Structures are given as C-alpha cells and as structure tokens.
Amino acid sequence: MNQGEFIKTRLRAKGQVTLPGEVRELLDAKEGDDLIFALNEKGQVVVERAQVIPPDQAWFWSDRWQKLEREAQADIDAGRVTHYQSAAEAIADLETSSDARDCDS
C-alpha cells in the first residue's frame, strides 16, 4: 500500500472489522496480537501493534536498566573491560580490589 492509496473495510454489527491483509502485513500483525488505537494531534486514529512485555521481563525495559545497559555498552566499546579465564579468577580479582579499598580507609 502506497501513501495516498486506501483500503476499504466494513464495520460489522458488534463493532468488529476485518483488517485487510495489506494492513495486517504493514502492522506485522498476526492472529491473537493486541492492537492499540490512538488519536494523534491531527485528530486521526492511528493503529499500532502492541508490543507486550511479559511481566517477568519488564525490569529490563525500565528507564534505569536501559541507562545501565547503555553505560555498560559504552564501557565495552571503549575497551574498559577485563576478561577472565574463570569465575574463580574474577572473584579473586574482586577480593583483591576490595582488600585494597579497605586498606585506603
């Protein structure tokens, strides 16, 4: 579907409409997907496919966590990381760093 083209559908008795295949394709909508209807600043109704986040994964998408993800990626990109051969090696390094900080106090 190109800009300026339109597709007609019919409103059924119980307020139901069938989304034409072209619209489902544009929305990447599949059976069972949730759709969101919103009014934009021009007074037009906009339809979007809802991106539902499972409750047990919502923490990952919080503003705080996403900020931490960006900071971690910046450290990785800048090479501010240390690679360890084992968990024991990483823990030993953490304990050494912790002991050094305790001596500075």
In this prediction, residue 102 carries a pLDDT of 60
Is 105's pLDDT higher than 70? no
Is 103's pLDDT higher than 90? no
* Tokens (6 digits) for 104: 């500075």
CATH code of the domain in which 26 resides: 2.10.260.10
* Tokens (6 digits) for 9: 């559908």
Average pLDDT over residues 64-85: 96
Residues 4 and 47 placed together within one structural domain of the fold: yes
User: ∠ CA(21), CA(22), CA(25), 5° rounding?
Assistant: 85
Using one digit for the tens of pLDDT, what is the confidence trace for 5-51? 888 999 999 999 999 999 999 999 999 999 999 999 999 999 999 98
Residues 6 and 48 placed together within one structural domain of the fold: yes
Q: Of 30, 22, 66, 64, which is closest to residue 50 (Cα–Cα)? A: 30
Exposure string of 53-92, with b = 16+ CB inside 10 Å and e = fewer, is eeeeeeeeeeeeeeeeeeeeeeeeeeeeeeeeeeeeeeee
Q: Which domain holds residue 60?
A: 55-104
